[in-house]
Amino acid sequence: MLLDDVAEILITEEQIRQRTRELAQEISRDYEGQDLLLVCVLKGGVVFLVDLMRELTIPHSVDFMATSSYGASTESSGVVRILKDLDAPIEGRNVLIVEDIIDTGHTLDYLTRILRERNPASLRICTLLNKQERREVDIPIDYIGFNIPNKFVIGYGLDFDELYRNLAFVGVLKPELYEPQT
């Protein structure tokens, strides 16, 4: 059972639902009457994106990018690769990047730099989770769901070795599952 691998539940399904609704209300107010494009960073961001967009009360479109900063390991290499680019140009559009987690900041640092070169009208960031303690590059974040401690989190889009993304909550993975046994 997937649940047997969870050491603790950090953020419950209900807490995520409540906070997502609050963020959606804030975003709906901020972009009222304006064009809005949500850019989701695959794969982790997709669960948050679909729940967030269903709570938005303003018209918006979505596009997807895929980057890679991690291998099968749990540590960021600081190296970001684009695996899939956006389908359409973003020049003159209000772009809101939707992420599941910001950790070292390398992914968003790189992404915001390349997207800014495409001359969007505005570029902001919305992340469900923020792991400030791990930050190596300073990233201004406009919308934060939860600030979390430096624990290995899974669920609600976040994976370990591509598993656990379907959990409805954000949990902490049992350390013995990713630390080498001595």
Q: Please identify every residue annotated as catalytic.
A: 103
**Nearest distance in Å: CB 131, ligand PRP:** 8
**Nearest distance in Å: CB 129, ligand PRP:** 9
Query: Could you tell me the CA-to-CA distances from 3 to 7, 44, 150, 153, 173 in Å, in that order?
Result: 9, 19, 21, 13, 10
**Nearer residue to ligand PRP within complex by CB, 58 or 86:** 86
Q: Is residue 15 near ligand PRP by the rule CB under 6 A?
A: no
Give the neighbor-by-neighbor strand order of the sheet with 170-173.
6-11, 170-173, 153-154
Among 102, 126, 148, 154, binds ligand PRP (CB under 6 A): 102
Among 23, 31, 44, 155, binds ligand PRP (CB under 6 A): 44
Q: Is residue 146 near ligand PRP by the rule CB under 6 A?
A: no
Q: Is residue 103 near ligand PRP by the rule CB under 6 A?
A: yes
Structure tokens at 139: 């990233």
**Nearer residue to ligand PRP within complex by CB, 34 or 68:** 68
**Nearer residue to ligand PRP within complex by CB, 44 or 171:** 44
Helix, strand, coil abundance in the chain, percent, nearest 5: 25, 30, 40
Q: By CB under 6 A, which span of 18-26, 38-46, 90-98, 140-148 interacts with ligand PRP? A: 38-46
Q: Which residues, other chains included, contact 173 with Cβ-Cβ below 8 Å and sequence gap of 6+?
A: 5, 6, 7, 152, 153, 154, 160, 164
- What is the binding site for ligand PRP (CB under 6 A)? 41-45, 67-70, 76, 99-107, 159
